[in-house]
Amino acid sequence: MIKVVETKEIRTSKSTIRWIGDSIINIEWDRDIDVGNEDIDEALIAFNQLTKGRKVQVLSEYGKFLNFESGTKEYAATKSPDCTALAYVVENLAQRMVIRFYIKLRRTNNPAKVFNSKNEALIWLRTFDT
């Protein structure tokens, strides 16, 4: 007999996308990488496989020395998943500036905020639990 188990985590070439609780998806980018459009597409496919169209809160963590290739921030903004809230955890000022720029490019009105710690981000995201 084959038992189908719901996937809780998917590893891509440069990130890990996983469920945290019942309503939060965590996208954890690796450290010391360059992110291009194809990496955004790969993460989005994994995200959609996990959520199956369900609207969730997203916690996106950026590893130290993560770099976006030219045009990738703009590309990612057009591909941003539909979610109830989006929290970013960054490790340095440069990342904070890039993410704030990205937030302005996003085409959704869902709340988004930048944090220095995962714990603070999770506390904020949980205020959107339904």
Q: Does residue 50 form part of some domain?
A: yes
Number of separate domains in the chain: 1
Q: Does residue 3 form part of some domain?
A: no
Q: Does residue 54 form part of some domain?
A: yes
| Structure tokens, 91 | 């490790």
pLDDT tens string 39-74: 999 999 999 999 998 999 999 998 888 888 888 888
Task: Identify the CATH number of the domain in which residue 94 sits.
Answer: 3.40.50.10600
Domain residue limits at 19: 10-126
Q: Does residue 1 form part of some domain?
A: no
pLDDT at 28: 95
* Nearest to 13, CA basis, from 46, 49, 60: 46
pLDDT at 4: 44
Give me the residues of the chain with pLDDT under 50, please: 3-5
pTM score, two decimals? Answer: 0.85
pLDDT at 77: 79
Tally Cβ neighbours within 10 Å of residue 86. Answer: 25
